Structure 1
Amino acid sequence: MAVMVVAAAALTRAGIGNEQLEQRRLASHLALRSGVEAAKAMILATPEDQRSALAGGETEIDLGGGVTATVKLRDAAAYVDLNRSDPKLIESVARFSGLSKAAEGLAEKIEKLRKEAEPVQASAQPRPANTKAPPVGVSAVTSAKAPADAGKAAQQPIPIIFLAVDQLPGLLGVSPDDAKALGAGLTVFNPTGQINPLAAPDQVLQSIPGLTGKDISDIAMARKMKTGGTDPRLQQLIQRLPGLLSLRPPSVFMIDVKLDGGPAILPGGRARAVVRLIPDGQAPFGTLALEEE
C-alpha cells in the first residue's frame, strides 16, 4: 500500500509538472503570435519612404503582463532570391559564404534547373514574339509585355523551383553544413530578385558584382543619414548596376521575434514570419511563412 501511495504521488507530481510546462508552452506560443502582430503594426507605423531602410535592427517591445520580446524587421529584398535572382549572383553569395569548391558550377546547376522547369510553365502561357527578355535579376512577371491589343502587361510566370532555402542540399547537391552557411544570404521571398542595398547584410553586399568598397561606404552613410531612396549616390549606383539593385518600396517583410522574459513563458522562444503587404486587401498583410522554435 505504501509503495502504491508513493507511486501515485510521483505520477501526480509528474502530471502537474507536464501540465505547467504545457501551459508555459501555450503562453509562449500566444506571446510569439502577439510579437508577430506587433511587428506588423510597426511596419504600418513606419512611413512608406522609410520602410526600405528596415535592415534587421533590434527593437524591444512590451507584450503586456510583464512579457518582453525583441523584434527584428527586414525588407525581404535584402537577400538574393533562389528563383528570381541572377544565378551568377547566387554563386557569388556562395563564395562569400565560405563555400569554395561547393560554389563551383552553382550558377550552371541553377540555370539548368530553370531551363528544365521553363517549358512546362511556358506552354501554359507562351510569351509573345515581340517580347524582350527581362533584365538580369528582374522577374518576367513585371517586365514582360503583351501585344498592343491585349491592353495589359502579359504575366509569364517564372519557374518556381525552390519553395524554401532548406531545399538546397537536395536540389543543388551541397552538404547540409554548406547549405546552412549559404542560406544566410538567400531567400525565396524577394519579389523581384533585385537587391535593396539599404537592407542587405554585408554578406550580400560584398557578393554583388561591380560593388566597390566606396559604394558600400556610401550605402552605410545613406543608412546613417536616413536619406533612403532619395540619396543621389544610391541613385547613381542603381543606374550603374541596372537589374541588380532597387530601392522600390518594399512589399514583403521578414519578421523575427524572440521572447526575452516574463512570467509563465519559456524565455528564448522564437518566431520567424514572412508577410506580404496587401494595400487593397481586407487585411493589411498576408502571411507567406511562419515557424516557431
Structure 2
Amino acid sequence: MKNVSVVTSFYLSEYYGMEDLKPIYFSIFLIIYLIIIVENVLLIEVIHHEKSLHEPMYVLLCNLAVNELYGSTALLPALLFNILSPLHEISLSFCQVQIFAVHTFAITEFTILAVMSYDRYVAICHPLSYHAIMSQRIVKLIVFMWLYPMLGFLTVFIFTLMLPYCGRTIEKVYCINYLLVKLACTDTSLVNIVGLLSVVLYTGPQLIMIFYSYSHILRICILSFSKSKFKAFRTCTPHLLAIVNYSIGCFFEIVQGRFDSSHLSYHTKLLLSLYFLIFPPLLNPTIYGLSTQFIRKRFFRLFSRKSRQVQMT
C-alpha cells in the first residue's frame, strides 16, 4: 500500500523544459493572452453597441467570447507566473480550482458550439420562423449552456475532491482531472468509470445536436438552387471552422493523454497540450470577425465613429 500523507501542493514537471528559454516563452504567452483579451473584448463590445447585432446568433457568439476569456484566464495567468517561478509548484486548492475551470470551459465551449449549430439549423431550414423560435428559446438555451457544464462537472468532480493523494508530480503545465486522479493513494476504479460516463454525457447530446442540425442543413442545400447553397454554406462557414478548431484541440489532448508521446519533442508536446486552451480563444474571434460581413462592417463603423470623436475632442 502506498504511504498516505497530507499533500498540499504539486509540482508541474513540464515547466522544467522551459528553463533555458524562459524569457521567450513568457513573452510569447503574454502576447497571446493580451491578443485573446483584446480580440474577445472587442467582439463583445461591437455586438453590445450595435443594436442591429442584437439577434440570437450574435448573442450566442457573445457568450462564446465570454467563455474564451474564462478559459484562457483559467490557464494563462498561472502559466506566466509558473514560467518565472523557480519552483513550478501549485497548491492543492488552486489545482482543484484550475481543473474545474479548464474542464467547464471545454464542456461549455462544446455546448455553445452545439447550440450555435441549432441556431444555424433554424435560420436555414425555418427562415420565416427563425426570430419567433429563437426569441422564445434563447434565454433557456443560454441558461442551459452555462448551468449544464458547471453543475454537471461539479457532480463528477466531487469524487476527485474526496481522494487522498500520495504523488506530488503532475506531468503537465497545468492541472487536469485524470492526472490528479492518477496521484491518488486509493482505488480509483469508481472515479474512472464515472469519468468515462461523464465523457459520454458531456459530448453525446452536443454531438447529436450538431449532426442533427447539419444533416438537415445539408439536405436543404442539396435541394436548393446554387445561389441558396452558397448563401447557406457562407452562413455556416465560421461555425464549422470553430468546430474544427475545437475538435483538433480535443484530438491533440486525447492523443497526448492516452498514448505514448515520448518520441515527440518537448515543444511539440507543449503545443499539443495547450492547443485547446489557447487556439479556440485566439482564433474564433478572428474567424467570426473576418467571415461574418455584419460584424466586419459594424467593427469598422464603430472604430471610425470613435476616431471621429477623438478628432473632434
TM-score (norm 1): 0.27
Structure index of larger Rg:
1
- Greater share of residues in helix: 2
- Greater share of residues in strand: 1
TM-score (norm 2): 0.25
